């Protein structure tokens, strides 16, 4: 079981999310950024939506598959690996997930 699966996000009565470490996650983009940051061991802080997962954040193909799996688990969605592999930037991942969960 992955670290992110073990620390599952909890939703409080306000609809906001909280990680197992008490960090408030308030929207989809921040939840995705948290997954990417944790998996790639990036420092805290915002991730530029224009950041290329491979070129800027040094993700390899295994990283992208694992990030996809964590996102599937976090948002309770099923993602076709071929579709996910076409995503290049963090912003594209944000938009892809929001489409799959019906968020605008």
Tell me what pLDDT residue 25 has.
Answer: 55
Q: Which residue has the higher pLDDT, 34 or 14?
A: 34
Residue 82 burial (10 A CB sphere; 0-12, 13-18, 19+): exposed
The fraction of the chain above a pLDDT of 90, given in percent, is 65
Instruction: Quick: pLDDT tens for 45-95.
Output: 889 999 999 999 999 999 999 999 999 999 999 999 899 889 999 999 999
Structurally, what CATH architecture does the domain formed by 3-101 represent?
Orthogonal Bundle (1.10)
- Closest by CA to 59, choosing from 31, 38, 30, is 38
Contact 71, 51 (CB under 8 A): no
Side by side, the strands of the sheet bearing 17-18 are 10-11, 17-18, 24-25
pTM for this structure? 0.75
Please indicate whether residue 60 is annotated as part of the active site.
yes
Token pair for 41: 């061991």
User: Quick one: average pLDDT of 26-30?
Assistant: 90
Task: For the chain, give every domain's residue range.
Answer: 3-101
Q: Which of 34, 60, 73, 76 is catalytic?
A: 60
- CB of 16 within 8 A of CB of 24? yes
């Amino acid at each position: 079981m992955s670290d992110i699966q073990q620390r599952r996000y909890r939703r409080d009565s306000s609809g906001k999310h909280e990680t197992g470490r008490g960090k408030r996650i308030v929207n989809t983009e921040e939840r995705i950024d948290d997954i990417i940051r944790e998996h790639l061991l990036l420092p805290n802080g915002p991730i530029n939506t224009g950041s290329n997962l491979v070129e800027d954040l040094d993700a390899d193909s295994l990283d992208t598959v694992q990030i996809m799996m964590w996102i599937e688990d976090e948002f309770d969605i099923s993602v076709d690996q071929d579709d996910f592999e076409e995503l290049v930037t963090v912003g594209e991942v944000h938009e892809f997930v929001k489409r799959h969960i019906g968020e605008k």
